[in-house]
Each structure stands twice: as structure tokens, then as C-alpha cells.
Amino acid sequence: MNNIDKIQQFIESINMSLKQDNYFSAIIVSLILPDICSKIEYNDIQRTTKRYKKWISEYMQPTLDSKVSNIKYLTPENIYELRCSMVHEGTSNPSNQKGFKKDIDTSTELDELIPYVNSVGWEAIAFANSQIHGSNKYKNSLFVDIDYFCNQIIKSVEYWISSWDNKDELNNLQVDLFSIAYAMMNEDKVLIFKP
């Protein structure tokens, strides 16, 4: 199985998860997909952080619709920190991550970025200032529609694939991408193969 086919499997996994309202799976796979693409694109860069942010900057940011409110918060730094908090800690609050950017807009500090299920037709990226229960403190929260975000990642990956003039070159790059092996019985032997 070539690199593009493997990446398509991840995209199918995201789409299937969204259709089944399996939002945890959809957002986690979406946050991992730039890791995979950046590993292929920048295999010579050792640091995952640098590869990931560079890929977001070069392939996701150009596909963002500037008409979407609060789009400026979908920076490489914030997306990477959301990825770290979701994948490594199981939390959607990247504000504890060291790279989280609070001062993106000088008039607004962002305290948390929260993926949400938009079943009410609210904005794809919505900003809210709310009082912390039982205190006089306020926090600025950014809510990112999971469906919007996942589809934006897919759009970015498709843009990245289309940017390759030579698809054979992309497919033949030697990157050991994850794939699932299959086992089957053949007479009295178990055969395991990896597509």
C-alpha cells in the first residue's frame, strides 16, 4: 500500500467517526494526520514540533477561510499544543502547554481552546468570555466546531497531496507509516500479511 492510500485510510477513519458521532476519534485522528504528512514532507527535520508547525503553516493556513470569525486563533502553535494536550493528556485545554499562545491579539488573551459539537448552528470558531463559577475571575474560551476542524484538516491534507507534482515520488518516499497487518488461516497455518 502506498503513502497516499495509507493517508486516505486515515481520512476515511475521520469521516466515518464524524458520521457515527465518534468525536474523540475524529479529532484525535485529525490532530495526528499533520504529524504523518509532516513526517513525509520534512523527514530530514528531527523535531516533531518543528515539522508539525511548519506543515500547518504551509498547508493548513493557506486553506483557511478568512471570513470565518476568530480564524486567527488556528495558528500552528495553538493547533500543535491542542494536539499535545489531546494526544498525551486526554484534555482539550492546551493552555497548560508551554507553547500555547495567549497573546495572539493584543486586545484578547485566550485561556483555553475547546473542541465542541455544533448542533445549534453556532459559529465554527466561537469566542466566549465567561466567569469562573464561584469566583470573580473570568476566562476567554475559544470553541472550535469539531466537524469544521476535522474537515479543515482533511482539506489541508488534500491540498498537500495536490501540491506534489509527482505523486509517484510521494508514494515512493521511504517513510514507515502505520498500517494494519491481517491474519488468515491457510490449512493449518496462520499467515500474517501487511498490505
CB neighbours (10 Å) of residue 78? Answer: 24
pLDDT at 174: 66
- Predicted TM-score (pTM) of the model is 0.81
User: Contact 85/92 with Cβ under 8 angstroms?
Assistant: yes
Digit-coded pLDDT (tens) for 13-23: 999 999 999 99
Cell numbers for 66: 478568512
468570555: which residue's cell?
Answer: 129
Digit-coded pLDDT (tens) for 28-74: 999 999 999 998 889 888 899 999 999 999 999 999 988 888 888 88
Spatial separation of the C-alpha atoms in residues 103 and 88, rounded to whole Å = 24
CB neighbours (10 Å) of residue 10? Answer: 20
**Number of structural domains found in the chain:** 1
Kindly tell me if the per-residue pLDDT of 116 is higher than 50.
yes
| Secondary structure of residue 189 in the 3-state scheme | strand
From the list 44, 48, 54, 30, the residue with the least C-alpha distance to 174 is 44
| Owning domain of residue 104 | 3-193
Residue 14: which H helix or E strand, with range?
Answer: helix 3-19
**Which residue type does 96 have?**
N
Transcribe 120-182 into DSSP letters: S---SEEEEEEEPTTSS-EEEEEEEEHHHHHHHHHHHHHHHHHH-S-HHHHHHS--------E
User: Contact 51/45 with Cβ under 8 angstroms?
Assistant: yes
